[in-house]
């Protein structure tokens, strides 16, 4: 049981390049989330998926797209990376509706630098 996994752990991009951050969970959770964490700030929600087949915008969605590929996987895509997207990205999941539905479980994070 690996919990929430994210790939890659580190990535450096040039302005204008695109990339996809991958997230997978093996806990059969319904809801999945993408956050970004900037220095001196708490996490901010980019997008979330309350259940398979649905996605919704969070607080800071501009410049990002997401795909809930299946119940396990939730990817985050940067179509044209900008220096303002330099951040640490976290994926999380929670059961939603079951025991412990309120607790989110986090992946190890991806440190992204855009030059």
Partner 1 sequence: AQTVTQSQPEMSVQEAETVTLSCTYDTSESDYYLFWYKQPPSRQMILVIRQEAYKQQNATENRFSVNFQKAAKSFSLKISDSQLGDAAMYFCAYMGSNYQLIWGAGTKLIIKP
Q: Where are the extended beta strands (E) located within the chain?
A: 4-7, 10-13, 19-25, 31-37, 43-49, 56-57, 64-68, 74-78, 87-94, 105-106, 110-114
58 φ, ψ (degrees, to nearest 5): -100, -145
Q: Does 101 bind partner 1 (CB under 8 A)?
A: yes
CB nearer to partner 1: give 17 or 45: 45
- Decide if residue 50 touches partner 1 (CB under 8 A): yes
Among 19, 44, 52, 61, binds partner 1 (CB under 8 A): 44
Q: Does 64 bind partner 1 (CB under 8 A)?
A: no
Q: Which of 7, 18, 84, 103 binds partner 1 (CB under 8 A)?
A: 103
- Displacement of CA 61 from its chain's centroid (Å): 11
User: Under the rule (CB under 8 A), what is the footprint of partner 1?
Assistant: 31, 33, 40-45, 48, 50, 58, 88, 90, 92, 94, 96, 101-106, 108-109, 111
């Amino acid at each position: 049981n690996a919990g929430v996994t994210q790939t890659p752990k580190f990535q450096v991009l040039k302005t204008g390049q695109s990339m996809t951050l991958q997230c997978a969970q093996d806990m059969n959770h319904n809801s999945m989330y993408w956050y970004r964490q900037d220095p001196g700030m708490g996490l901010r929600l980019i997008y979330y998926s309350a259940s398979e087949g649905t996605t919704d915008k969070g607080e800071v969605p501009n410049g990002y797209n997401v795909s809930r590929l299946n119940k396990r996987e939730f990817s985050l895509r940067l179509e044209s990376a900008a220096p303002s997207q330099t951040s640490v990205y976290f994926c999380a999941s929670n059961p939603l509706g079951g025991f412990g539905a309120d607790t989110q479980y986090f992946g190890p994070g991806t440190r992204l630098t855009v030059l």
